[in-house]
Amino acid sequence: MIKRVGFIGLGNMGGPMCSHLVEAGFEVTAFDLNSDALDRVVAGGARPGASAAECARDAGALITMLPAPPQVESVWLGFGDEGGVIAALAPGAVAIDMSTSSVAVGSRVVAAARERGVDVLDAPVAGQSIGAQAGTLAIYVGGDSDVFERARPLFLAMGDPERIFHLGGNGAGYTVKLLLNLMWFIESVAVGEVLTVGVRAGVSLEKLHAALVGSPANSVFLERDVRMVLDDGDYDEAFPMRLVTKDLGLAVDLAHEAGVPVELTALVEQIHRRVRNLYGDDAGEISAVRLYEDLAGVRLRLG
């Protein structure tokens, strides 16, 4: 049974996730380069780690929640003359990366871990920062089934029990997360485009939105997620455009590796890169809707 947990990466997602592990009774040692982020989880009962390696020592499981594949690779495998945290884990420990990363980086982590006798799971999450705070994340796990079962209590502390998915071997979690992100970003473009055209064509936004929600074309994004924009003008800066374009780039790479032509994916990626160039790295993840608003000279607001 896993009792001691290391947690590295305490941002908008990782901070609340770490805190839920503490609340569930795990002994957590945490680390982040941002001292304020570390102080917040320490105030909630986590032990501060002086380094990433210190989080790994004596841990039954080590979790990372990092921005992108380069950070995942450098933390787990090291860079230059510095070793990564895999080298600090004891044989039999479980290495769990919950970042949205690439299968290629994950494969290198698995290979290094095997040499140490360390088990690996990729377990990226979905549910935005609100889900991280509420402990209701969806978790998409790749790795051996017995390792997944050992780590299940950790996932239950951070996620919705009905949405913790074991999807297959190592890499399956990364793959599914990239694909669901891709679907979401495709929908953000499609919904922004459709609503803008409808409003410019003279249909009331309220009636248009209600009709689409009540139609076979409805989706979670259309019914729920876009309401942040329609109700409050909130484009969700908790997940910035620099990470959106990172995820879309990884999805394009995944498609190329799978040998599948993805013309729509490539176009959606380019639209989001245009959004990033216009509104900046920190623009919210639903800013594709803002692009269509600006192009059409309208604001999509209910009420």
Largest CA distance in the chain: 65
Q: Annotated catalytic, 177?
A: yes
292: helix, strand or coil:
helix
In which region does residue 109 sit, left (phi positive, over 0), alpha (psi from -120 to 50) or beta (all else)?
alpha
Q: Considering 3, 177, 207, 246, which one is annotated as catalytic?
A: 177
d(C-alpha 153, C-alpha 120), whole Å: 16
* Encoded tokens for 163: 């949405």
Other CB atoms within a 10 A radius of the CB of residue 131 amount to 20
- Dihedral angle of Cα 273, 275, 277, 283, to the nearest 10 degrees: -110
Residue 4 contacts residue 22 (beta carbons within 8 Å)? no
**Residue from 64, 26, 66 nearest 45 by CA:** 26
The residue type at 145: S
d(C-alpha 184, C-alpha 221), whole Å: 7
What residues are labeled active site?
Answer: 177
